[in-house]
Amino acid sequence: MNAPTLTEIRSFKGTYPKQLVYLFGTEMWERFCFYGMRGMLTVFMVTQLGLGDREANLQYGAIQAFVYAFTFLGGVFADKILGFQKSLVWGALLMIAGGFTIAAAPTELFYIGICFTIIGTGFFKPNISTMVGQLYHTDDHRRDAGFGLFYMGINIGAFLGGLLMVWVGKEYSWRAAFALVGVVMIISLINFALRRRSFGPIGLSPLHADLPASRRRIYEWGTYAGSLAVIPLILLMVTNTAYTDLFMYTIGPLTLVYLAWEMRQFGREENLRLLAALVFIFFSVLFWAFFEQSGGSLSLFALNNLRPTLFGMPVDPNSVNNAANSLFVIAFSALAGLFWLWLSKRKIEPNSVVKFGLGFLFLAGGFYIFKSTLGFADENGITSTEVFTLAWFVITFGELALSPIGLSLMTKLSPVRIQGLMMGMWFLASAYGQYAAGLLGAGMSAEDPGATNYAKLQLYTDGYGQLGFYALLAGVALILISPLVRKLMRGIH
């Protein structure tokens, strides 16, 4: 069977192209691994590596920051050399290597395996999202629905991985939990490889055909070799948070300089849209800095301060923390989409900027509920898992108002030639959010290793109240500046 042309792919009938279903499956299994790993990190570091709460929060922020920072680099190399398809395959292979490396000796090889995972996610994550955007014509109104379905795939994987992997590690074997990463990523890679031909020209290497084949191979293999050669550098930075600070202070400004250089080739309207994209990127840093307490301070909160029951049923509190949000996204994302559609038919649907602002308001509500758990605690600092879960329920609607349209907006506001770059910048914003999340979590942690559970609970809930206040301010600010940002978007809704 001949590979389809780009026009044939984009001229699909119905709501979704078949290629989206293939990417859905590939991403679902990769997110199983990513969110499963995220949910294990702080628990593993505290219980197996002997780190204190403060150190574990900082280490978590550093690891997650590098994971997302490398999505920017992965997007650039996909744009310039590998293309999206080869980037996905290379990223999957590195993640498989990372999972099996940690499984071989969890305490001794943990950080080396994490380095493979960081680089692998960098090549995988931004490029599969960009491929989703390229399945559609620029003005295709079905694009947002496609990203909504894709986002559901992300959350099905996140729910399964978050629920299962930390439970396997705590109750059975950390070695088996990390080995699951390798096994499940093999499934993800096979799923993509079997369907790769159906994507036609989407995601092929951008290197010009008039380049000699030997030159193209040098560029491609040089990328593979270079990504392996930086492992010692990443290992140094991940294990020493002072180097993480230096990296994060440097990569953001350099990225903006590089984007400014690329913007020279575009016209005024395209550049105004890119400025609008930067507004969304800036506010997403704040959103993820608060939201990503889930893998840091909230993970330790669940470990130490939650009752192991939910509505009378025995549960692992860490599994609740890891999986509740994803379960609510799966349950309510379709309803949220129908609600936006209902508003649209009545011509009262809020624009993307206002939706971002609403996302922050829900985020604020959730953190105020986390703060309220102090009032349900006993003298040992053990509090209500039900109230904790309610907070995630509220925050989920904030995520649904922000994250799915963020992916879609990056593809709509960005010129095709730098879509990989801009998707990488969207995830680089998440890197800064993760980095800030680690700092915020460390700031809320008890410095005294002998602090009681109740003292830890007081510190965390005070901190969550402050985060709720700042989220409220950000939401109001976004709603107020929405008319200005809409002008920059030049007709993109």
pLDDT in tens, 316-366: 898 889 889 989 988 887 777 778 778 777 888 787 788 889 999 999 999
The reply to whether 6 falls in a domain is: no
Task: List the beta strands (DSSP E) in 142-205.
Answer: none
Distance separating alpha carbons of residues 163 and 316, to the nearest angstrom: 9
Which pairs with CB-CB distance under 8 Å and at least 24 residues apart come from 483-489? Answer: 485/276, 485/279, 485/353, 486/351, 486/353, 487/272, 488/272, 488/273, 488/275, 488/276, 488/279, 489/272, 489/273, 489/276, 489/352, 489/413
227, part of any domain: yes
Q: Which two tokens stand for residue 184?
A: 């499940």
Question: Which of the residue ranges 312-321, 418-427, 468-477 would you say has the lowest mean pLDDT?
Answer: 418-427
Neighbours of 213 (CB within 10 A): 9
Domain for residue 9, yes or no? no
Confidence of residue 136 (pLDDT cuts 50, 70, 90): confident
Residue 397 neighbours by CB distance under 10 Å: 20
Q: What is the pLDDT of residues 45-95, one digit of tens each?
A: 988 988 888 888 888 888 888 887 787 778 778 878 888 888 889 999 999
Mean pLDDT of 118-146: 80
Q: Residue 185: what residue type?
A: M
CATH of the domain at 446: 1.20.1250.20
What 3-state DSSP class applies to 306? strand
- Residue 71's closest CA among 113, 27, 31, 127? 127
92 assigned to some structural domain:
yes
SS3 state of residue 172: coil
Residue 310's SS3 state is strand
pLDDT-derived band at 493 (thresholds 50, 70, 90) equals low
Provide the number of structural domains found in the chain.
1
What are the DSSP E strand ranges found in 16-94? none
Burial label, 459 (beta-carbon count in 10 A; 0-12, 13-18, 19+):
middle
Contact 118, 63 (CB under 8 A): yes
CB 69 within 8 A of CB 117: no
Q: Kindly report the backbone phi and psi dihedral angles of residue 201, in degrees, each rounded to the nearest multiple of 5, phi listed first.
A: -80, -10
Q: Is the pTM of this model over 0.85?
A: no
Dist CA 313 CA 328 (whole Å): 19
Q: Is residue 7 part of a domain?
A: no
Q: Provide, rounded to the nearest whole percent, the portion of the chain with pLDDT above 90.
A: 24
Q: Is 351 helix (H, G, I), strand (E, B) or coil?
A: coil
- Residue 198: give the domain boundaries: 16-489
Give yes or no for residue 109 having a pLDDT over 90.
yes
Domain-located, residue 11? no
